[in-house]
Amino acid sequence: MNKKKNRLERSSFSDRLPLWITIAFMAVVPLLVRVSKVEYPMNQFSWYTNQTTFYDSYAFFKSHVIIFIGIFALLFLAYRQIKEKVLSFKDPVVISTLVFAAFILLSDLFSVNVFVANNGYLDRYESTFVWLSYLAVFLLIYSHTWRDETLKWIRRAFVASATLLSGIGIIQYMGYDPVFNSLTRPFVTAFNLLGTDYEAVYSINYQVIVQTLYHYNYVGFLSATTLPVILSFMLYEPKWRFKILYGGLSALVLFNLLGSSARGGLVAIAVALPVFILFNRKHIFKNAKAAVAVVLALVIVAAGFEWYSDGFITMRLKSIFTSVSTQFVLQDLTVDGDAVTAQIDGHTFTMSIDESGAENWVISYTLDGEPIEPAGQNSKHHIYFDSEVLKDVTNYLTAYNSSYLLTFEYKDDPWYFGYDSDGNLSYINLYGKFDSIEKAPSIGFEGKELLGSARGYIWSRTFPLILKSPLVGYGADTFALVFPQSDYVAKYNVYGTSTMVVDKAHNLYLNIAINSGLIALAAYLAYHIILLIRAGKRMRPLKFTYADVWQSALLTALIAYFVGAFFNDSTVHVSPVFWAILGLALSRVTKEQSGTEL
């Protein structure tokens, strides 16, 4: 019995705490949900409602747990550094981390909104303190020497977490809610809400798999990162019964990836799997039977899902590469004095208010500088015009707060204009707030704004923002605040509504540049370069094949994450897993560590 005593029980606290923190980041944090009441002053923004009370189910609690873990990691790392000098300040990894942290802090100091930077934006809550917590945990994991016995516990926890998440996803796909229901309500609801009428079950509407990660894109991102890890465990597992179990879990993770419909995750795994095969080629040939069996199982799962969903995945993949060149008809709306001008398919239509007393407004119209008279009124008493250019345009007055608004209606969607307290004509958005209509500067993607679910639009408007503040960015999680939300016409054309709030870049690299500047982005990219160089040195004597199960699992997972990051943002749901994996990978390729035991 003594011989079989778990070595973890005999290990020192210095070994156990990094293990616990790693397990918490990799396996526990993604599972966390808690319905919390959040007071957030969104009424300060002209492009949002006056609502100040919100209910968050996924991100708010996770962010606080991440900060709590980060504080522990930082204190313990400082203690170990004083006692053991576990980090060298000449190490490029440490230098990159310190530079990254410095610019996160600088961006907070010069942030456009310190409250948002310190608390994170609504529904995201990835604040300055969350980012610093990522780095503290990463450095602690990187500085630790990982033994095979310790890694077994990480493997078990990660597999358990992946199994739970996959099971939740499958149940959601079947139309049931295993997370928010009457049975789970006491466990997933903040104590101050338990005595109220608030019911989380009524606030959740599952259309696709979201697991406990808030959004299907995050499910795809995490599943694409997880699948290479589970496949590696299966490939290197010596016992057949465990190979079968890992193969089954791989199929479950793949099902969740497909069921999420996240194209970014599909692209990530499409790149990662060939890399997995290439660098594991020797081991695959040695385990040909197991490899063929897993491939067949994954193909069956993918084919079965494709059949059941009537070709949904093929359609989603094709949409990535399908041309989305678009020429929008309504191109701009501007206000100049008492006139509203619309640019419609290259033509200029102007509505000039000559008189605006009570109900007796006098409005004159021009098209391309020439006067044009209304053709009459339709059944709704809206003025219309006998012109092909203006076939989708009507004009009328709308009663509003004891006054009237000039209403320009395009394809049955109204645009309101009224006089503010200073007597100036201005646009009134659908939240009833006076605001100006901007035509945001853009770089690239002209005519391709719809590319990648409107990522073309978001990225083209993000590049100019980076150039405006390239050194320190705008502060953590402030993307929604600096993005041109008043670009109402473009948002209407892209999203079909002018009220869409664009709150993320849909690209982690642009996300970092906006948050903390280009130097912070360079520090982050340095991790990629350092990892590739050090891993390459380890793999060169082996003719560029993976040395062991952990090289295969960690490095392939990171490749999937790096690719998926082009389409996804950093979030409290997925990023903790990434930073833990990155710390483990860099630790193992840096130090003399190798192991094949499971």
How many Å apart are CA 413 and CA 310, to the nearest integer? 34
pLDDT per residue over 365-376, tens digit each? 999 999 999 999
CA gap 598, 593 in Å, rounded: 15
Q: Which runs of consecutive H residues, i.e. helices, occur in 178-311?
A: 185-188, 191-194, 200-203, 216-236, 240-260, 263-279, 281-286, 288-308
Give the burial class of 302: count Cβ atoms within 10 A of its Cβ; 0-12 exposed, 13-18 middle, 19 or more buried: middle
**Across the chain, which distance is largest between two alpha carbons, in Å?**
98
Question: Scanning the structure block, which residue is given the tokens 């522990």?
Answer: 72
pLDDT greater than 50 at residue 202 = no
The Cα–Cα gap between 122 and 193 comes to: 19
Half-sphere exposure of 307 (CA within 13 A, CB side): 6
Say if residue 510's pLDDT is above 90: yes
Confidence of residue 7 (pLDDT cuts 50, 70, 90): low
In this prediction, residue 286 carries a pLDDT of 80
∠ CA 552-557-562, rounded to 5°: 135
Q: Rounded to 5 degrees, what are φ and ψ at 75?
A: -65, -45
Residue 217: what pLDDT? 94
pLDDT of residue 198: 65
Q: What is the rounded distance in angstroms from the CA atom of residue 426 to the CA atom of residue 394? A: 19
Q: Three-state secondary structure along 287-356?
A: CHHHHHHHHHHHHHHHHHHHHHCCCHHHHHHHHHHCCCCCCCCEEEEEEECCEEEEEECCEEEEEEEEEE
Whether the pLDDT of residue 596 is over 60: the answer is no
Amino acid sitting at position 418: G
pLDDT digits 0-9 by tens, 72-106: 999 999 999 999 999 999 999 999 999 999 999 99
More confident residue, 200 or 513: 513
Q: Average per-residue pLDDT in the chain?
A: 90
| DSSP SS3 for 471 | coil
The neighbour count for residue 597, using CB atoms within 10 Å, is: 12
pLDDT tens for 37-74 read 999 999 999 999 999 999 999 999 999 999 999 999 99
More confident residue, 201 or 267: 267
In the three-class reduction of DSSP (H, G, I as helix; E, B as strand; rest coil), residue 35 is classed as: strand
Q: Compute the chain's Rg from CA coordinates.
A: 28
Measured distance CA(413)–CA(487) in Å, rounded: 16
Q: What is the pLDDT of residues 406-438, one digit of tens each?
A: 999 999 999 999 999 899 999 999 999 999 999
Write down the pLDDT at residue 523.
Answer: 98
- Mean pLDDT in residue range 547-560: 95
**Segment of 52-56, 304-308, 545-549, 571-575 carrying the highest mean pLDDT:** 571-575
* Per-residue model confidence (pLDDT) at position 87: 94
pLDDT digits (tens, 9 = 90+) for 106-159: 999 999 999 999 999 999 999 999 999 999 999 999 999 998 889 999 999 999
Q: How far is Cα 344 from Cα 332, in angstroms, rounded to an integer? A: 7
Separation of alpha carbons 312 and 262, rounded Å:
11
For residue 103, what pLDDT is reported? 98
**Structural tokens at position 299:** 């193909």
**What's residue 10's pLDDT?**
57
Instruction: Tell me which residue of 513, 536, 537, 533 sits closest to 524, measured CA to CA.
Output: 513
| pLDDT tens per residue, range 319-370 | 665 556 678 999 999 999 999 999 999 999 999 999 987 668 899 999 999 9
Amino acid at 11: S
H/E element holding 587? helix 575-590
Strands (E), 450-493: none
In this predicted structure, what is the pLDDT of residue 325?
66
Residue 361: Cβ within 10 Å count? 13
Amino acid at 451: L
By the 10 Å C-beta count (0-12 exposed, 13-18 middle, 19+ buried), 388 is classed as exposed
The secondary structure of residue 87, as a DSSP letter, is -
Name the DSSP letter for residue 506.
Answer: S
Name residues whose C-beta falls within 8 Å of residue 432's C-beta, 6 or more positions apart in sequence: none
Integer Cα distance of 551 and 250 in angstroms: 18
**Cα 557 from Cα 565, distance rounded (Å):** 12
Burial status of residue 111 (CB atoms within 10 A of its CB: 0-12, 13-18, 19 or more): buried
Q: Phi and psi at residue 248, in whole multiples of 5°?
A: -65, -40
Q: What is the dihedral of CA 27, 29, 33, 35, to 10 degrees?
A: 170
User: Residue 86, Cβ neighbours under 10 Å: how many?
Assistant: 17
What is d(CA 231, CA 358) in angstroms, rounded to the nearest whole number? 72
User: Residues 6 or more apart from 327 whose CB is under 8 A from it?
Assistant: 447
pLDDT value at 461 more than 70: yes
Structure tokens given for 296: 């067949």
What is the C-alpha to C-alpha distance for residues 53 and 55, in angstroms, rounded to an integer?
Answer: 7
Q: Report H helices in 450-507.
A: 451-468, 479-482, 488-495
Neighbours of 244 (CB within 10 A): 16
Classify residue 103 as exposed, middle or buried by CB count within 10 Å of its CB (0-12, 13-18, 19+). buried
| Structure confidence by residue, pLDDT tens digits, 278-307 | 999 988 888 777 777 777 777 887 777 777
How high is the pLDDT of residue 6?
53
pLDDT of residue 1 exceeding 80, the answer is: no
pLDDT at 408: 97
- Reduced 3-state DSSP string for 441-459: CCCCCCCCCCHHHHHHHHH
List, for residues 384-407, the tens digit of each pLDDT value: 999 999 999 999 999 988 889 999
Residue carrying structure tokens 């009220």: 499
Stretch 17-27: mean pLDDT? 96
Angle, alpha carbons 165-37-256 (nearest 5°): 15
CA distance linking residue 489 with residue 335, whole number of Å? 13
- Find how far residue 573's CA is from the centre of its chain: 9
| DSSP-assigned beta bridge partners for residue 384 | 376, 394
**CA 207 – CA 421 distance, rounded (Å):** 44
94 touches 57 (CB < 8 A): no
CA distance 296 to 290: 10
Predicted pLDDT of residue 205: 46
